[in-house]
């Protein structure tokens, strides 16, 4: 019997609620494929800080080091609650960035998908959605402004100052470019490169390297778009995009906007891939505004499981089945509260019911 160790970091806020639904799916996948998923929970984020005095405790590091894959829930607290934790131990600085650095998870895949039949979830008009929304954001995840050098202090005028630098070298850009071109080759062979070269020198180098790597992929058409224009096109004509590649901070911001055009961040799973280790997480945060009310949408967490099945365990068919099961639930008219719109008739369900319905649908599909 094949056995895989999976570290489950359920995190903060809605994390444990949506993780519980993802685990139901994982257990069924294991059972029907005769795979032993060894699931072990670890503490990560604000909960870990309060419990162990560190947002990424040593025991969690050891658990992740020995895991075949990591499934991570969202972490973080509300703006006010965050102040209870020292700045460097706040979840992103104390846990998330160190995890990305530890496993060098440079390639972040964020699929943005809404079939035509579910266009009513989106705030965009059906005429803009057309045949549906279907593109993927490839975000560089361990460089740029979030990982550059930082300095704070008092300047010569006695004023507080802060300095943060956006740093990339050509190898860092080349490896994410290769991932993006390979992805484009498997899709429509069009790559939108998102940049800000009219202002940032980092983008000038970024674009040069994208063009250089592009020479190895002559079949892929490269379209360079300024990040500010890309933000507009996401709302006005998302159908033009298929694969988008961008640096770390642009990816953070545009992928939340992408969640917005789908109708909810709850529809945004992701995969964070490094040379030897991968972790999978929803793109969104811990949603403290709805935590503990059973109204979170677990699609993002179950979608992250589907990505793990495909990318870490090469279980492509079962990954497709998970996506199909979730789409079937929506197609039957069910909706979690985040996706409901005034005037649209849906059968409203809670977090657990969505997970249960997905499991029922999955059980009907051939593996
Ligand atoms: P958020 O992404 O948590 O929430 C933004 C909005 O989307 C909220 O209205 C929330 O209710 C909604 N939402 C998000 N996920 C949802 C889901 N699955 N179902 C239904 N609705 C959902 O952003 P925020 O409120 O700005 O941040 C909250 C905390 O999360 C902060 O501490 C932030 O630092 C952290 N954060 C963590 C990650 C991560 O763990 N990778 C990513 C982003 C933000």
- Residues with beta carbon inside 6 Å of ligand 1? 14, 18, 74-77, 92, 96, 264-266, 281, 284-290, 296-297, 300, 338
Ligand 1 center to residue 284 CA distance, Å? 5
Distance in angstroms between the alpha carbons of the first and the last residue of the chain: 16
- DSSP 3-state assignment of 224? strand
Q: What is the mean pLDDT of residues 77-102?
A: 96
- Give percent of the chain with pLDDT exceeding 90: 98
Ligand 1 center to residue 287 CA distance, Å? 4
Residue 122 pLDDT exceeds 90: yes
Q: Which of 10-19, 75-84, 334-343, 357-366 bottoms out in mean pLDDT, i.e. has the lowest?
A: 334-343
Ligand 1 atom index nearest CA of 77: 32
This prediction has a pTM of 0.97
> What is the predicted pLDDT for the residue at 109?
99
Residue 345 pLDDT class (50, 70, 90 cuts): confident
- Among 90, 97, 44, which Cα is nearest to 67's? 44
Residue 344 pLDDT class (50, 70, 90 cuts): confident
pLDDT in tens, 285-309: 999 999 999 999 999 999 999 999 9
Q: What is the mean pLDDT of residues 106-127?
A: 96
Residue 343 pLDDT class (50, 70, 90 cuts): confident
Ligand 1 atom index nearest CA of 73: 40
- Among 206, 187, 186, 188, which Cα is nearest to 196's? 206
Active site residues: 146, 196, 228, 252, 256
> What is the predicted pLDDT for the residue at 272?
99
Residue 342 pLDDT exceeds 90: no
Q: What angle (nearest 5°) sits at the alpha carbon of residue 45, between those of residues 42 and 46?
A: 120
Residue 23 pLDDT class (50, 70, 90 cuts): very high
Question: What is each CA distance from 90 to 12, 48, 55, 238, in whole angstroms?
Answer: 12, 10, 7, 34
In the block, residue with structure tokens 């019997």: 1
pLDDT in tens, 231-274: 999 999 999 999 999 999 999 999 999 999 999 999 999 999 99
Alpha-carbon distance of 57 to 346, in angstroms, equals 43
- DSSP 3-state assignment of 349? coil
- Give percent of the chain with pLDDT exceeding 70: 100
Could you tell me if 280 and 228 are in contact, meaning their C-beta atoms sit under 8 angstroms apart?
A: no
């Amino acid at each position: 019997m094949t056995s895989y160790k999976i570290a489950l970091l359920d995190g903060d806020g809605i994390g444990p609620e949506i993780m519980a639904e993802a685990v139901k799916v994982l257990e069924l996948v294991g059972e029907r494929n005769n795979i032993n998923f060894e699931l072990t929970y670890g503490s990560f984020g604000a909960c870990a800080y309060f419990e162990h005095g560190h947002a990424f405790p040593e025991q969690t590091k050891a658990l992740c080091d020995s895991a075949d894959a990591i499934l991570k829930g969202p972490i973080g607290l509300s703006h006010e609650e965050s102040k209870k934790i020292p700045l460097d131990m706040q979840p992103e600085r104390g846990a998330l960035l160190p995890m990305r650095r530890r496993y060098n998870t440079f390639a972040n895949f964020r699929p943005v998908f809404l079939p035509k039949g579910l266009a009513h979830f989106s705030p965009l008009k059906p005429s803009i959605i057309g045949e549906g929304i279907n593109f993927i954001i490839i975000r560089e995840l361990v460089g740029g402004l979030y990982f550059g050098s930082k300095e704070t202090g008092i300047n010569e005028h006695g004023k507080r100052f802060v300095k943060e630098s956006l740093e990339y070298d050509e190898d860092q850009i080349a490896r994410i470019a290769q991932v993006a071109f390979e992805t484009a080759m498997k899709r429509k062979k069009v790559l939108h490169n998102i940049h800000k070269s009219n202002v940032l020198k980092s983008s000038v180098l970024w674009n040069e390297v994208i063009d250089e790597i592009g020479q190895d992929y002559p079949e892929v058409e490269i379209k360079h778009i300024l990040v500010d224009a890309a933000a507009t096109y996401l709302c006005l004509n998302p159908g033009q995009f298929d694969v988008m590649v961008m640096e770390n901070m642009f990816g953070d911001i545009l992928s939340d906007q992408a969640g917005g055009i789908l109708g909810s961040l709850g529809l945004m799973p992701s995969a964070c891939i490094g040379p030897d280790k991968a972790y999978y997480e929803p793109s969104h945060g811990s949603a403290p505004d709805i935590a503990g009310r059973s109204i979170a949408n677990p699609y993002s967490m179950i979608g992250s499981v589907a990505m793990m099945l495909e990318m870490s365990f090469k279980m492509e068919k079962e990954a497709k089945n998970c996506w199909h099961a979730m789409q079937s639930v929506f197609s039957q008219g069910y909706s979690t509260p985040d996706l409901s719109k005034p005037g649209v008739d849906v059968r409203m369900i809670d977090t657990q019911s969505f997970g249960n319905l997905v499991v029922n649908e999955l059980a009907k599909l051939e593996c």
